[in-house]
Structure 1
Amino acid sequence: MLMRRIDPASGAIIMANGIFLYGGIQAFPYIDQYLGEVLAILLFIAWTGIYLRLTVQFFQKDFLLPFLNNPIQSFTIGTWIAGVSVLCNVLLKYFPETLLFLQVMSIINIALWAIFLVTMIKSFKTLLKEKNSSIHGVILLSTVGTQSIVILLENLFTWVPEIIFESLVLLGVLFYIVGVFLLARRYLTTKWTLIDDWKNTNCIIHGALSITGLAMVTGGLMTTGFMIWFWMSVFVLLVIVEVIEIIRAYKRIKKLGFIKGVWTYHISQWSRNFTFGMFFAFTLAMNLNSVYNFPEYFIHFQLILLPLWAKVVLLTLILEIWLSFYSITTSRKMSIY
């Protein structure tokens, strides 16, 4: 009996749950203290199951070539890389004695990123040559995957020269600029509707910047003034994108009803959970970092925002987990929402 194929973007499940354990859970000390290690182990078990299936599927000829030659779908490899990076950081946090094992995992992940790098460049060249009305935020996983490697190196390989960190961060920023250009060209030069053509993955527009900011803060890169400006830009962009999401949800409910409009599971929804969790992790890292000398008003604003945003991260994650299990048990068809 053939194994049912797994969605190539399934690494996003590990990303979304992992980033909560890496950052958001710190706003809930009781959960962190009594359930943190258990949840980390469960995440590792889930990762093992998902990635074994992805690995088997990746080496199937009828999957591999069409997948790699698809200039948009091929970017979902970024979820595999970021998923491993987040998992390693979570396991290091709760089980620091596993450092050597995690370093081996990291080296394999870096090798996968190197392969992904070639694929990304090829896909970007294809997308730049001709307009594609199917482009969406998944192409920004190029930045997410790259910056996740930066954070992985900074946490697990402290001896790596700073120039490596800086170069990779800049490469991720370059990918972001190219990706946003392609998105802007797609939405400004082609006909589209908010209900049908705005994808869940577009939230990576701000999520990719959040992980870039986290990479900068973790490595102590950039100046205090730049990081204040950068964080405020990410915050404003998050508000703009999520307002668009709310309007889109309203329009979908009005047209399709609540269940079909928004309450139907799709794998891409995990990208929203990841970006929410990443913004929290970025903000928390800034707040705790001693390298920068942030003004009191800025720190105070973040201290007000952090506990509120942590509740948003936890609530949306619980809802997504419930919705995914509900989808499995009821075999409900997936929507594009």
Structure 2
Amino acid sequence: MLLKGSYKKVEPANGAIIMANGIFLIGAVEAFPLLDIQLGKYLTFLLLIAWVLIYKDLSVQFFHRDFLVPFIHHPVNSFAIGTWIAGVSVLCNVFLRYFPGISIMTEAMAIFNTFLFLFFLGNCFYNFKQLFFDHKDHPVHGVVLLSTVGTQSIIILLNNVFFRFPVYFSEGIIILGLIFYLSGITLIGHRYLRTKNWNLADDWANTNCIIHGALSITGLAIVTTNTFTPFFVSVFWGVVFVLLIAVEIVEVIRAVKRIRRYGLDKGLFTYQVTQWSRNFTFGMFYTFTWVMHLNPFYTIPDSLYKFQTVFMNFWAWVVLLALVGQIALYVKTRLASGKKQQVPAH
């Protein structure tokens, strides 16, 4: 039954905040013993508080008719549900790392998340059909790749929280995620190829970094479930690495163009919820590489292993500094917003 009346309106993609901070606590945090060993449990508790606050507002909003109906029928924005699923999946994996004793709560959250995923799955099929056949001219960006992120996060979650699923089942889910990825990439490519007079500063979306992030979580799903061959995983990692470099070069060029056009503050340091997707993708690539290293099932060439080791030492700092910067930008924006809402005394 849908609700009516007023409610606090929040960004549907706010689940990305949990994704971005949580993936750091699963992967790159291991490079920083102070944050991992001494502060890890406290940071997890803070993440839980943030999750409760964010998902409370998302849940209330979701069950209001004037939000839900237009939202799930929007062929692009509705893919933001993928952040809710991935956010819960990431949080559960953080619990497994720092609070393994609360397995009952983690399992309950995983079951709930699976049902939410089934709803999201139906929505993905429906809206891909809309974008390919009924709304061919609708501007598409990286948010559609959250179909892959949500799908792969579920198979990772189920394998980690419950038990190792049969290989054919895990492979089937991973391949479904890859089909969603190819569908999304096709739509994104079609958007930029057919659109004339678009410019990098204004028309390249923050969410386009999920072009490499969705493949990173696919790689993590593979090395978590022991599917596919070591050779395939080595080649796959190389492809993701090349995409990471290519997309982030585009991002740097875009940042320069935005600074020239709008100045430093408006061009680069204006908060948008979609910016968290970059932190998530950075952290996810580290986690994919790290778990690949830890898994003895995947024997890789010694030269690649050494390169990854050196790269992770560098990339861990990139993940941390980018996350700290994004948190600072978020806090700055919230403080500025709070000052604007204050009514001066008379």
**TM-score, with length taken from structure 2:** 0.94
Counterpart of 1:257 in 2: which secondary structure?
A: helix
1:15-38 deviations in Å (ceiling 9; x for gaps): 000000000100101210110000
Equivalent positions of 1:126-275 (< 5 A) are 126-129=130-133, 130-191=135-196, 192-275=198-281
Aligned to 2:343: none
Letter in 2 for 1:114: L
Query: What is the CA–CA distance in structure 2 between the aligned matches of 1:93 and 1:226, rounded to whole Å?
Result: 28
Query: What is the CA–CA distance in structure 2 between the aligned matches of 1:3 and 1:69, rounded to whole Å?
Result: 20
Query: What is the CA–CA distance in structure 2 between the aligned matches of 1:307 and 1:16, rounded to whole Å?
Result: 19
Shift of 1:276: 0.2
Q: Is the 8 A contact 1:133 1:190 kept in 2?
A: no
Aligned to 2:63: 59
Aligned to 1:24: 28
1:36-64 deviations in Å (ceiling 9; x for gaps): 00001111111011111111100000000
Letter in 2 for 1:280: Y
Aligned to 1:335: none
Shift of 1:119: 0.6
Q: Is the 8 A contact 1:18 1:43 kept in 2?
A: yes
Aligned to 2:326: 320
Q: Is the 8 A contact 1:24 1:277 kept in 2?
A: yes
Q: Is the 8 A contact 2:8 2:61 kept in 1?
A: no
Aligned to 1:293: 299
Shift of 1:235: 0.3
Aligned to 1:310: 316
Shift of 1:171: 0.5
The runs of 4+ residues in structure 1 deviating greater than 6 Å are none
Query: What is the CA–CA distance in structure 1 between the aligned matches of 2:322 and 2:138, rounded to whole Å?
Result: 30
Letter in 1 for 2:193: L
Query: What is the CA–CA distance in structure 2 between the aligned matches of 1:315 and 1:188, rounded to whole Å?
Result: 34
Q: Is the 8 A contact 1:252 1:261 kept in 2?
A: yes
Shift of 1:101: 1.3
Query: Of 86, 111, 114, which residue of structure 2 is paired with 1:82?
Result: 86
Identity of aligned residues (%): 53
Query: What is the CA–CA distance in structure 2 between the aligned matches of 1:133 and 1:229, rounded to whole Å?
Result: 34
- Is 1:93–2:97 an aligned residue pair? yes
Query: What is the CA–CA distance in structure 1 between the aligned matches of 2:336 and 2:56, rounded to whole Å?
Result: 25
Query: What is the CA–CA distance in structure 2 between the aligned matches of 1:234 and 1:32, rounded to whole Å?
Result: 27
Aligned to 1:37: 41
Q: Is the 8 A contact 1:223 1:292 kept in 2?
A: yes
Q: Is the 8 A contact 1:147 1:215 kept in 2?
A: yes
Query: What is the CA–CA distance in structure 2 between the aligned matches of 1:254 and 1:121, rounded to whole Å?
Result: 40
Counterpart of 1:331 in 2: which secondary structure?
A: helix
Query: What is the CA–CA distance in structure 2 between the aligned matches of 1:215 and 1:135, rounded to whole Å?
Result: 26
Q: Is the 8 A contact 1:165 1:219 kept in 2?
A: yes
Counterpart of 2:39 in 1: which secondary structure?
A: helix
Query: Of 270, 277, 295, which residue of structure 1 is paired with 2:283?
Result: 277
- Is 1:10–2:42 an aligned residue pair? no
Q: Is the 8 A contact 1:75 1:138 kept in 2?
A: yes
- Is 1:117–2:121 an aligned residue pair? yes
Shift of 1:98: 1.0
Query: CA-atom RMSD, angstroms?
Result: 1.2
Shift of 1:2: 4.3
Query: Which piece of structure 1 moves more, 70-79 or 98-107?
Result: 98-107
**TM-score, with length taken from structure 1:** 0.97
